[in-house]
Amino acid sequence: MTLYEVVEGQQYSFPDEELRILKLWDDIDAFGEQLRRTEGKPEFVFYDGPPFATGLPHYGHLLAGTIKDIVTRFASTTGKHVVRRFGWDCHGLPVEHEIDKKLKIGGREDVLKMGIGNYNEECRSIVLRYSAEWEKTVKRIGRWIDFENDYKTMDPNFMESIWWVFKSLDDKKLIYKGFKVMPYSTACNTPLSNFELGIVKSYSAQIAFPVVGCELGASLVAWTTTPWTLPSNTALCVNPELQYVYLKDPEGNVYIVAEARMESLPHATKKSKGITKVLNDEWCILKSVSGRSLSGLKYKPIFDWFEGSLGPKAFTVCCDSYVTDDSGTGVVHQAPAYGEDDYRVCIENNVLQKDDALPDPVDANGCFMEPAAQPYIGMYIKDADKLLIQQAKECGRLIDNARIVHSYPFCWRSRTPLIYRAVASFFVKVEEIKERLVANNLQTEWVPTYVKEKRFHNWLESAHDWSISRNRYWGTPIPVWSSPSGDETIVVGSIAELEKLTGKVVTDLHRHFIDHLEIPSSRGPEFPPLRRVEDVFDCWFESGSMPYAQQHYPFENKERFESAFPADFVAEGLDQTRGWFYTLMVLSTALFDKPAFKNLICNGLVLASDGKKMSKSLKNYPDPNTILDKYGADALRLYLIDSPVVRAEPLRFKEEGVFGVLKDVFLPWYNAYRFLVQNVRLLEETASIPFTPSEGEPTSKNVLDIWILSSTNSLVQFVTEEMHSYRLYTVVPRLISFISQLTNVYVRYNRGRLKGKDGGDESRCALDVLFNVLLTICKTMAPFTPFFVENMYQNLRRCLPESEESIHLCEFPRFNQSSSPRIESSVSKMQAVIETVRAVRERTGKPLKMPLSAITIVDSDTEFLEDSQNALLSYLRDELNVRRVEVSSDPAKFATLKAEPNFAALGKRVGKSMKEISQEIKSWDPFKIATFQSGKSTVIAGHELTSSDIIVKYHFNHQEDANVAYATVDDGGMVILDLSVDSSILFSASARLLVNRVQKLRKSAGLRTNDQVQVLYTITGDGDEEFIHQMLDSQGDYISKSLGCIPTIEKDDGHVVFGRDNFEISSALCMNISVVRPKIKMDSVSVQGSSKVDEIEAILSAREYCTVAGELFRGEMKDISLNGATVCLSWSDRQC
């Protein structure tokens, strides 16, 4: 046999077979061989974003990895050389936090106490903690990527290229040092780019700030939820467009607040008529002014910690539109060291200059330090809130205070509240290159496009300068050496340059290897040497430098990099629009004025089934390895790809969804493959000739052969075009549809032909077509489902001399222009007719086994009607079980056509034109409707309407006739069924029922297709037995062709019985059937012992009767072994 026999679908273990395929790939080094074979072909450049290896891979990683694997596999099989290097993000807070937990490090002092060198080496030791698990899982999901030649952001070569990037930006005057207000973790001593929201209970306070020189003695009243920032107050801010009032209380105090916020002052207002709040009788408005008129007023600060160190514009009123009247008092206190808007307002109003020191009395751990007054020094800022409010009360400045519950940013690592604070940082001047960023974004293609055109475009347009430094330890050091006064600075761009400047050999670029290195001052030995600044790069700068650093550019691979930049493809999650995608674009634009990539796929988030974020603590999702072990990688891959998540939308992960893919896609696909294998083996067994498929596309005159080959060609064309456009999510629905067409149409309609019931030549032709189609699908789907197609290919290739060792070494199929659109269209219409007729049968209680006298197909497509009377006629008859198929192109013979507007589809699109459009459509006569149906569109009231906008309904004639049934077909046609019944129809229905019962008995007995049996019957009941004899006589050809025999009346002759069943012909007549095989009888006189006779008969009965009888008759089978004894057999008159 050419092909190995395969098990039933229920017995096929997808996970186990995948493990076997993994071993095969390892044994033949399939990935390495693919790379070797494509060496020298055009490069397809792919950048892989580096994950942290301090945690295990989750569904988000598996999704992104699957997308990357599909695209790169496709590129490899379409003539490209695709280098795929895995990468690791090694630096940054995630690693440091793990060490802080392990060593119980509470802050900067603990790190310095143990030594930065020791701390960094501890970090290095855990960077690749889970790398083995990552490699195992990535490999298990079926992803081909190079782990041996991976890149690591902690490698000296990678770090040196980062230095080059920074120095290049500095040379372009795109680097400066300044302050940036950022979420800051006092627990981790570092600013954070990302954070989570939590609910906290905080102190709030209203504080009075007396206006200097005010005749009314008024005070501006500001509201704050961060009382600890009051000592750093530098200015107050109002909205220039709001109205403000001078409000006098019963004690004579005058307060300035927004008019819309008078109610915020205690006891100032009262309810009027239960809803509106009005001023209390004892309060009065002295005057009302615009916010703009308050600009420039001086006021007295509440604390004097920085009163002498700030410039002349400190403690003045500024104007800005960010102040609102929806909460507070309409007056906002400005602490530029702790608020982004505060800092911006103070800079824009010249209260501070960019290089000014900020009033910041808080250390890295969030505790007050000098110049704070006692008892605040050393106190944690949030612990000081209550004491500061008490001090404000004692000096008569407190208007009101309360405790409020609100959402607040939390550190995602330490789970502690963050603060906003200004951090000294090195910045990239992103705002200076903003126009180029927007222009370069237009040169890229994104899937989906709206992420590029909306989300990313908007982010670029509103981009601010990028803070790239962190005051941490485990990272790539900022290569800036500066004098103590800051007057002299050197930016180092390479290891060689540093060695030249310091006279020292440099083997590693981490802080503990270079922080001690000094560069002599160029001004002379009398000046102090330059020392490196303490900062390290933000890890986003490192990953954004990945295109250059992974190749150690420009120190190595200079020509190779420059000839292959930008990359052809990148892919990551939606969150990377403000992360990796952004940093790639910024650095590539700043360095080369190019985007870093040409094509990008952006996936959405994978959520738990309840729509919440996946959480280990909540255990609200199944472990990925459990899913892989249970269903296999291909099912998971296809489930993820065929979901909204590939269109950057969220996916609620459901295990039953993975099972659904297995059940609805893979099992039908496998069953079609198994059917091929079974019938190829049957053909070879009966014809004694090996099955040899055509070298090219098979040639056949059979309409369904032509159709499935054309549909396969269309599928290949569709997948090729969609993959070149990176639209992965469109491929799987098309595949599912094709698999359904293959199994439910081609295999089902051709079942007898494939089994050889139309002769050996027809069987070989049909099997050749099915083989070609399955092989083509395997090659087409290889990037998507690498394991399953490999499993099938390894068996199919046994029929192919000199075939490739792996399907992934085969070229991607090429489509041709010789498809048959007419046949594809006609078969599609035929399927719609068949489904409609089946639905009518179910509705009218006419089972499929009951033949119909006739059906009439009505359709405007004359080519389809012609095919229905010729090439498709036999299939229509067989599938519909109908005697006669008639056609018509004139629906008016059978029904009246009416047209109505599809209000749901038209909706808001046509607006006020709906009435005119509705009247026009409803006035159409049948000719106008037919014209619309043939043209598929029309214009009414200036709106183009298509078939989805207009509903065509049929009002059928003669609906009172019980022997006629009508139905419309989805594509616009109709069918009319003749339901009348005569004796010949009843004979045919009973014959189909008989065949069906026998085939079920054969299947339950485990008989193979070529196992020969007899069918015996008896009749019970009071009905007319002659009906059964007439049925067997009139339907003999059909029964014999289907079963290989004609049922005969059961007698007492001995048989081996495989199964029995019975079914009603009518209420008074029942047919009892038995599937049997003749039993070879023993001459008991010649054999000693009845038990021995039984045992010999059992052995012989297990074999085919004709085969055994022939062997004995020819004297070929003389001896058998029975319980250690030899029994000699001979043949005489059907007896042994």
> Looking at per-residue confidence, does 906 or 482 come out higher?
482
Is there a contact between 868 and 887 (Cβ–Cβ < 8 Å)? yes
Taking residues 131-160, report their average pLDDT: 94
- pLDDT surpasses 80 at 274: no
**Spatial distance between the Cα atoms of 909 and 943, rounded to a whole number of angstroms:** 9
Output the pLDDT for position 1094. Answer: 64
Q: What is the pLDDT of residues 431-462, one digit of tens each?
A: 999 999 999 999 999 999 999 999 999 999 99
Distance from C-alpha of 1061 to C-alpha of 1050, rounded to nearest angstrom: 13
Question: Measured between alpha carbons, how far is 931 from 738 in angstroms, rounded to an integer?
Answer: 32
676 — pLDDT class (breaks 50, 70, 90): very high
Q: What is the pLDDT of residues 780-821, one digit of tens each?
A: 999 999 999 999 999 999 999 889 999 999 999 998 876 788
pLDDT at residue number 911:
83
Is 1118's pLDDT higher than 80?
Answer: no
Lowest-confidence range among 392-401, 478-487, 681-690?
Answer: 681-690
CA-to-CA dists, residue 1078 to 997, 1016, 1105, 1108, angstroms:
20, 11, 6, 11
Query: How many whole angstroms separate alpha carbon 843 and alpha carbon 837?
Result: 10
For residue 89, count CB atoms less than 10 angstroms from its CB and return exposed for 0-12, middle for 13-18, buried for 19 or more: buried
pLDDT tens, position by position, 564-607: 999 999 999 998 988 899 999 999 999 999 999 999 999 999 98
Cα distance from N-terminal residue to C-terminal residue, the chain:
33
Has residue 276 got a pLDDT over 90? Answer: no
Strand partners, 966: 976
Closest CA to 196 of 483, 651, 613, 500: 613
How far is Cα of residue 551 from the mean position of the Cα atoms in its chain? 30
CA distance 684 to 195: 67
pTM of the model: 0.81
Report the alpha-carbon distance of residue 945 to residue 924 in Å, rounded: 14
Strand order in the sheet with 964-968: 882-888, 852-858, 974-978, 964-968
- Is it the case that residue 655 has pLDDT exceeding 60? yes
Give 723 or 186, the one with higher predicted confidence: 723
**Ordered DSSP codes for 556-607:** S-HHHHHHT-SEEEEEEEGGGGTTHHHHHHHHHHHHHSS-SEEEEEEE--EE
Residue % of the chain over a pLDDT of 70: 93
Nearest to 1054 by CA among 1136, 980, 1125: 1136
Give 1105's pLDDT tier (boundaries 50, 70, 90): low
Question: What pLDDT sits at residue 312?
Answer: 87
What is the sign, positive or negative, of the torsion defined by CA atoms of 757, 762, 768, 773?
A: negative
Pick left, alpha or beta for residue 826 (phi over 0 → left; psi -120 to 50 → alpha; otherwise beta): alpha
Write out the catalytic residue numbers: 50, 89, 540, 576, 580, 613, 616
Quote the CA–CA distance of 827 and 821 in Å, as a whole number.
10
Query: Ranked by mean pLDDT, which of 31-35, 102-106, 270-274, 752-756 comes out on top?
Result: 31-35
Q: Is 241 helix (H, G, I), strand (E, B) or coil?
A: coil
Query: Model confidence over 489-534: pLDDT tens digits?
Result: 999 999 999 999 999 999 999 999 999 999 999 999 899 999 999 9
Using the predicted structure, report yes or no on whether residue 1084 has a pLDDT greater than 60.
no
User: What value does the mean pLDDT take over residues 748-770?
Assistant: 89
Residue type for position 343? Y
pLDDT value of residue 1086: 57
Phi/psi of residue 1064, nearest 5 degrees = -85, 130
Spatial contact of 366 and 419, defined as CB atoms under 8 Å apart:
yes
Residue 234 has pLDDT above 60, yes or no: yes
